[in-house]
Amino acid sequence: MTQPKTYIKATSVEHALSLAGESSGSFRYLAGGTDVMVNKFQGNDDAGLLIDISGIDALRQVSATETHLVIGALVCLEELAKHSAVAGNFPVLMEAANSVASPTIRKTATLGGNLLCGNRCSFYNQSAWWREAAGFCLKCSGPLCLASGGKKHCFSKFVSDMAVALISLRAGIEISDLRGVITIPLESIYSGDGINPSLLSNTAIIRAIHIPLHHDFRSVYKKLRKRETLDFTSLTTAISLDKTGMIRIVMGGVHAKPVITDGTGTEDLNSLVSQAVSATRMVDNDTYSRAYRKAMIPVFLDRSFRELQLI
C-alpha cells in the first residue's frame, strides 16, 4: 500500500534535514516544484512526504565573497536572470536561465531545482498507463531499456541547462546533509547513471552555488529545441574560455550526465570537438533523432568558437 500523502513546510535547512532524517517512508524536497509536481502527476514520483523548502529565506540570497559569487539554491530562475551581479559577471547564466521552460515557470523554478531536474526520456516521462502499456523501462523498474531496444543501461538524458552553463564556469556546489556542509565541484554530483543520476545522499539539500570570480570568463551558450520556448533541451552547449586560455566545453542532453571536455584555446579545436562528440552517449529518446543531435554538436561548437573568436 502506498504511504499516506503528507506535506510539511520546512522553516530552515536544519528543520528540513531533521524531517528528512525522521521520515520512515519516501520523501521529496520541494523547491519550486515545477519538475517534481509533473513527475508526481505522471506517477514517476510516489514520495509520500513532501518537505517544502521553498520558504527558507537563507537559501534565497545572492552575495559575493572575495573570490566567488554565491547564489542561493532557492533563487528562482527569473530573479537569477535579472540579478545585476549575475548579468554583470556571468551573462551566460542569464542566457541559460532564460532558456529554461517558460517565463511563468521561471518565476517559480529555482536554481537548485533545475540542477536536480530529473533526467528525461521519451519512454520514461509518460503516465503510469503509458509506461505499463510500453512495458516499463529500466528507469521505472523494468528489465530493459526500451529506448535503446533492450540494453541493460539507462540512457535518460541530463537536461539541466543551468548545470551546463555553471560547470563551464567551474562552479562549486554547497550541500548540507545529515553529515554537515561541504562544497564540491558541481559536476561531481552527477553519476552518469540514468536511473539514479545524482550522487547526493537522499537527505542532501543544495544550499548554494559558488562561481569563481576574476577568471574573466568569456562564454557562449546554445540550446537545441523545436520551439523557442517551453521545451526541454535536445542539446545544450556552453563553452567558457578563461583568461589563461583554458577552454571548458560542457554539453547537456547527450548523456545521463553533463559531458565535459577541457582544453586550451591554442590546441586543435577539431580534436576537442571530436573528444566532445565521442564522450556522448545517446539513443533515440528525444524529439530530434540521435543522429541529428550528434551532428549538431560540431555545428554548435564551431559557432561558439567563432563567437569567441577562436577561429
Distances (CA, A) of 240 to 64, 84, 166, 170: 20, 20, 10, 9
Task: Please choose, out of 14-22, 39-47, 61-69, 275-283, the segment that lies near other proteins by the rule CB under 8 A.
Answer: 39-47
Say how far apart CA 43 and CA 59 lie, in whole Å: 29
Binding of other proteins at residue 307 (CB under 8 A)? Answer: no
What are the residues whose beta carbons fall under 8 Å from the beta carbon of 219, sequence distance 6 or more? 90, 91, 92, 165, 168, 169, 238, 239, 240, 241
Among positions 26, 61, 130, 143, the unique one binding other proteins when judged by CB under 8 A: 130
Place of cell 564551431: 302
Binding of other proteins at residue 26 (CB under 8 A)? Answer: no
Q: Is 71 strand, coil or helix?
A: strand
Task: Please choose, out of 64-72, 132-140, 167-175, 265-273, the segment that lies near other proteins by the rule CB under 8 A.
Answer: 132-140
Task: Please choose, out of 26-34, 83-91, 212-220, 251-259, the segment that lies near other proteins by the rule CB under 8 A.
Answer: 26-34
Nearer to other proteins among residue 27 and residue 190 (C-beta)? 27
Binding of other proteins at residue 129 (CB under 8 A)? Answer: yes
Binding of other proteins at residue 228 (CB under 8 A)? Answer: yes
Say how far apart CA 147 and CA 182 lie, in whole Å: 36
Binding of other proteins at residue 299 (CB under 8 A)? Answer: yes
Q: Is 108 strand, coil or helix?
A: helix
Give the relative orientation of helices 161-168 and 91-98 as an angle to the nearest 10 degrees. 170
Among positions 9, 215, 218, 281, the unique one binding other proteins when judged by CB under 8 A: 9
Q: Is 216 left (phi over 0), alpha (psi -120 to 50) or beta?
A: left
Task: Please choose, out of 14-22, 31-39, 60-68, 239-247, the segment that lies near other proteins by the rule CB under 8 A.
Answer: 31-39
Binding of other proteins at residue 94 (CB under 8 A)? Answer: no
Tell me which residues touch other proteins (CB under 8 A).
4-7, 9, 30, 33-34, 37-38, 40-42, 50, 52, 54, 101-105, 107-108, 122-123, 126-127, 129-130, 132-134, 224, 226-232, 287-289, 291-292, 295-296, 299, 303
